[in-house]
Structure 1
Amino acid sequence: MTTSDRTLVLLRHAKSDWSGALPDVDRPLAERGHAQAPLAGRWLAGHVGAIDLAVVSPAQRARETWELVSAELAPVPPVVFDERVYAASADRLLDIVREAPADVRTLILVGHNPGMEQLASLLAGEDVTLPTSGIAELGVDGPWSGLDAASAVLRAAGRADGRDLS
């Protein structure tokens, strides 16, 4: 097994509430989302280790997801809420990741489908499914700026709510 220089974690926000008439960006988490997100945080704490930087969509459901996930992490990494993550394509998300500072070894991106799933699939060179609160952990060799299609190794993908994350 080879080790990678860096770790990229893609986390799709937890289940959101569709019951209200709020604008999409303002939709909060549903009850199920409030249960899912801490499980994702516990999985990250136990499997990924220290995270150096979190880049999170400013959408309410993504912010709430990160709040619940990060409560399970020690230390809690610095966070940047980046408007470009909201409703972003895989290409836009890749551009954001490529901008990560060189001293960041482990980066987590918290966002939305279809962009997150498409980015995971693009980087891994295989189909990756990210349900709500789904996690894709990818190993990256070299600098963030050199990240490209099929240039990462998929270490784990799935959801940490009693289903296998393999």
Structure 2
Amino acid sequence: MVRLLLVRHATADWPDGVDDLERPVTAQGAAAARELGAYIAAHDLTPDVALVSVARRTRQTWEQLASELPTALDAQFEEDAYAASARRLLQVVRERGGDAETVLVVGHNPGIHDLVAVLSADRERVPLSYPTTTLAVLDLPADGWSGVEVGTASVERVVVKRSR
């Protein structure tokens, strides 16, 4: 079995003249990301590998989240994860997961939410919405990431950390 943690980036600002790729996380979003990191640490969900979109808001989400983890972990920043479809995100995970038992992806909607739906064996466990700073924990019956198949995951939990 392998475990996949799917995180939508924290709430981001969109200042005038700033390209989508460079949108920064708000102060409230940063706080929510730290709360999510603390949750991951407290529930023994710390990943072995982190795959993070190259967008500024996903990188900042990762930095805040990672600051609460018990061990330092360098993320792999993935151009292919920016504005990616569920199928493309799955391909990135299959290619980059390596021998990790737990992989965390920080990405964007609709791709992250769609990936939960594509992988889930039980559609009733898929959340209807996927707001910012949401985590889905999926357990997959595969010996490695290359063997992950659609429609086989158990959605173990979904956690939403609201920006305040």
User: What is the TM-score of this pair, normalised by structure 2?
Assistant: 0.90
2:148 is equivalent to residue 157 of structure 1: no
Deviation, structure 1 residue 83:
0.3
Aligned length, in residue pairs: 158
Deviations 1:10-33 (A, max 9, x none): 000000002332000000011221
Q: Which residue in the other structure is 1:134 paired with?
A: 134
Output aligned runs, 1:32-51, within 5 Å: 32-51=28-47
SS at match of 2:4: strand
Residues 102/59 of structure 1: CA separation in 2 closer, same or farther (3 Å cut): closer
Moved more, 139-148 or 80-89: 139-148
Runs of 4+ in 1 over 4 A off after TM superposition: none
Task: Name the structure 1 match of 2:72.
Answer: 76
* AA at the equivalent of 1:152: A
User: Residues 12 and 23 of structure 2 are in contact (CA less than 8 Å); yes or no, is this contact kept in structure 1?
Assistant: yes
5+ residue gaps, structure 1: none
Matches for 1:10-159 after TM superposition, within 5 Å: 10-125=6-121, 126=123, 127-128=126-127, 129-142=129-142, 143-159=144-160
Q: CA deviation at 1:158?
A: 2.8
Q: TM-score, with normalisation over the residues of structure 1? A: 0.89
Q: Deviations over 1:81-129 (max 9, x none)?
A: 0100000000100101111344200100000000000001111142333
Amino acid at match of 1:83: E
- For the Cα contact (< 8 Å) 2:138–2:153, is it kept in 1? yes
DSSP-derived class of the 2:62 partner: helix
Secondary structure, counterpart of 1:156 in structure 2: strand
SS, match of residue 99 in structure 1: helix
In 1, Cα distance between the equivalents of 2:140 and 2:96? 13
Q: CA RMSD in A?
A: 1.5
CA shift, 1:132, in A, is: 0.2
List gaps (5 residues or longer) in structure 2.
none
Q: What amino acid is the match of 1:141?
A: P
Which residue type is aligned with residue 151 of structure 1?
T
**1:113 aligned partner, one-letter code:** N
> Could you say what secondary structure the match of 1:117 adopts?
helix
Kept after mapping to 2: 8 A contact 1:11/1:134: yes
State the SS of the aligned residue for 2:64: helix
For residue 7 of structure 1, give the secondary structure of its aligned residue in structure 2: strand
